[in-house]
Structure 1
Amino acid sequence: MLLAASEGLDAQVCLRLVVNGRASPKRLPVARYDGNLDKGRENSEAVEIRLNESAIKALSQEERARLRLEARPLWNPKEPARLLRERPEGDWIFDLAGCASGVWLLTAWIGTLSPLRPLRVTINGTAPAELKLERAIHAHPQAARHKQLGELVRELATEASHAEWPRLMDFLATMSSLPSPTYEVVRRVAGDPEAAVLALIKDKMSGVLWAGLEQLPFMWALVPAQVWVRAVRRELAWREKKAAELASEGIPVDPRAFLKPLFKEAPLRASWMHCILSLWSETLGGKPSAPSPFVHLARTEAGRRFLRQQLQPAQQELIRAHAEDPWPEVDFQRPDWMGLYREVPRECWLEPTQLFQTAVLRAPVVAAVASARDLSLPPERVLELRRLRAFDERWFDEAYGSTLACLLGSALQKNPELFK
């Protein structure tokens, strides 16, 4: 979780052990990778790849013996990986015969674990690229590459029909087999909630995409409610246009058919997604109907009271389940936290019976305010919320969904056209 607070491949955190309330003076550094791959000699036929000093120190002789190196073109993640040839000297040879010109990605594996930082290797310069995404991936220096990738992701986020969506989805699919930060374009998606939600819709609420992006500085619960609505509308508008074109050729297509698997899969990702489905149903004319119409119920004060009453058993179970556990602490008296908490209607407040419960009880409420009010939180606050959710995910998700429904229902009661 701490490493997920940074998108960098070289992210590192220091841990201090606490035993019986006493902190050890020693700190334990933990990095995303144990070491690096380095390039050695190279010519037009092959490139020599070896372990750097930190990798040699970190890996045992047995681990180094099991290590395998793979290469794949950085611009095409669907192409099968090539296995590098190991030499008795303890290094590897990347044979370039048959390799297309461009940047290649080298990864190291022990079974399914990738312990070493990926390495970029450029072969014969850069070949002309048809796709913007391919051109952006090959851009140099890194700042230019980040800028181009960020601009393209923003373009895709606002255009569901964009021709480069299939290639972007190929990159996002790699999170099932490669560490989430491996590809820069995946990190750019994590920095653009609208692109992330539209990708999730196109991928039918994939568990791989959901879990993978949360390995980066990203939290689905902090995606603004407006973003969830805009993304599904963009996808629907594109599909309606396609359906109209097919209808003119005598081919009937239901443009809303894509919503059915979304409504089925969304609650499997998180229980609070029932609230998002309810919001979608409210803003898409009631079709399909939400399995749990929380937002519609929360349009009245009586409905909001009912939702909060339904939360009481969960709060009691939280306290019972963790009666003997140390509770995480965050100073919710700080102005930034209190400012957010005061945004919540009094009827939605969750008050602790003991002071040490404050942070865990208030965290889902604050996250719901950020989503409902379209507020951006700094990385350190996001990390605190993720740590508090990890204490009891079931409680956080239930309280977050209830609070978000109350906030959205209250807003729609005041302004029925809010999400139009």
Structure 2
Amino acid sequence: MREALTDLQDVDEILWTTFEGFRSRAVASRPYFDPLCDWLQEQVFPGRKLTNSSLELTRRLRADFIFQQLAVEERALLGRHDADEYWPQGPSVMQLADSGLLRDEFRYAGLTGFQRPVRCAPFVAAAIALGAREYELPQAALVYELRTLRGFDSEWFDTAYAQSLALGLAQNEGEEAL
């Protein structure tokens, strides 16, 4: 795009303003685009800094703080649903979660039963999005399960997905993956 606009004055400023507008619209409709847009900004505009960059904030905060935020969201998830309510299952999601794809904190290995797939799903989706492991493209069953699990509580899924994307994108080489 820079090359196409080389004849214009202040090309970098035009592109930056356009990107900021795109980021605002994307994050307003899908909050989990926030860390992705921040990462994209670092790649395309390395000399610029965003205000309120979730990715930069994640880098500065300790992982314990992020885990505490996720624990708050998890309690909110449990508060939105009855114990007798049907929680969707996700055998493909759980197979990936238990295969070593996720950190122990995101596997919920201490839990058994019906609530575990809903809790693990956003972390599995983020690990797939971040390319944490080489394997075939998601099968139809996995995509269906992820959609079903997100549909059960999209507030939990979207928040946990955004946090795990930010953690994954913010980690330095050699650090533990999701």
Q: TM over 0.5, yes or no?
A: yes
The answer to whether structure 1 residue 338 and structure 2 residue 82 are counterparts is no
SS in 2 for 1:263: helix
Q: In structure 1, how many angstroms separate the alpha carbons of the residues matched to 2:46 and 2:55?
A: 14
Listed one character per residue, the Cα deviations across residues 113-162 of structure 1 (whole Å, up to 9, x for unaligned) are xxxxxxxxxxxxxxxxxxxxxxxxxxxxxxxxxxxxxxxxxxxxxxxxxx
Counterpart for residue 390 of structure 1: 151
- Runs of 4+ aligned residues of structure 1 deviating over 6 Å after TM superposition are none
Q: CA deviation at 1:315?
A: 0.5
Q: CA deviation at 1:386?
A: 0.5
Contact 1:328 1:360 in 2 (8 A): yes
Q: CA deviation at 1:331?
A: 2.2
Q: CA deviation at 1:262?
A: 0.9
Q: In structure 2, how many angstroms separate the alpha carbons of the residues matched to 1:333 and 1:404?
A: 17
Counterpart for residue 149 of structure 1: none
The answer to whether structure 1 residue 282 and structure 2 residue 42 are counterparts is yes
| Higher relative helix content | 2
Judged with a 3 Å threshold, the aligned counterparts in structure 2 of structure 1 residues 334 and 282 are, in CA distance, closer, same or farther, namely same
Counterpart for residue 162 of structure 2: 401
Identify which of structures 1 and 2 has the higher relative contact order when contacts are C-alpha pairs closer than 8 Å and 6+ apart. 2
Work out which of the two has the higher radius of gyration on C-alpha atoms and give 1 or 2: 1
One-letter code aligned to 1:313: V
Q: In structure 1, how many angstroms separate the alpha carbons of the residues matched to 2:148 and 2:105?
A: 26
Q: In structure 1, how many angstroms separate the alpha carbons of the residues matched to 2:102 and 2:46?
A: 28
| Higher relative strand content | 1
The answer to whether structure 1 residue 366 and structure 2 residue 108 are counterparts is no
Q: In structure 2, how many angstroms separate the alpha carbons of the residues matched to 1:334 and 1:346?
A: 13
Q: TM-score, normalised by structure 1?
A: 0.36
The answer to whether structure 1 residue 307 and structure 2 residue 66 are counterparts is yes
Q: TM-score, normalised by structure 2?
A: 0.79
Could you say what the CA RMSD is over the residues aligned between the two structures, in angstroms? Answer: 2.6
Judged with a 3 Å threshold, the aligned counterparts in structure 2 of structure 1 residues 349 and 308 are, in CA distance, closer, same or farther, namely farther
Aligned pair count?
167
Contact 1:259 1:288 in 2 (8 A): no
Judged with a 3 Å threshold, the aligned counterparts in structure 2 of structure 1 residues 252 and 369 are, in CA distance, closer, same or farther, namely closer
> Aligned match of 2:29 in 269, 276, 279?
269
Summarize the alignment of residues 8-407 of structure 1 with structure 2, pairs less than 5 Å apart: 238=1, 240-244=2-6, 246-247=7-8, 251-253=9-11, 254-283=14-43, 284-285=45-46, 287=48, 289-291=50-52, 293-299=53-59, 303-323=62-82, 324-331=84-91, 335-339=95-99, 342-350=100-108, 353=111, 355-373=113-131, 376-407=137-168
* Unaligned 5+ runs, structure 1: 1-237, 416-420
Q: In structure 2, how many angstroms separate the alpha carbons of the residues matched to 1:373 and 1:408?
A: 11
One-letter code aligned to 1:241: E
Percent identical pairs in the alignment equals 23
Judged with a 3 Å threshold, the aligned counterparts in structure 2 of structure 1 residues 241 and 315 are, in CA distance, closer, same or farther, namely same
Q: In structure 2, how many angstroms separate the alpha carbons of the residues matched to 1:351 and 1:335?
A: 12
Contact 2:121 2:149 in 1 (8 A): yes
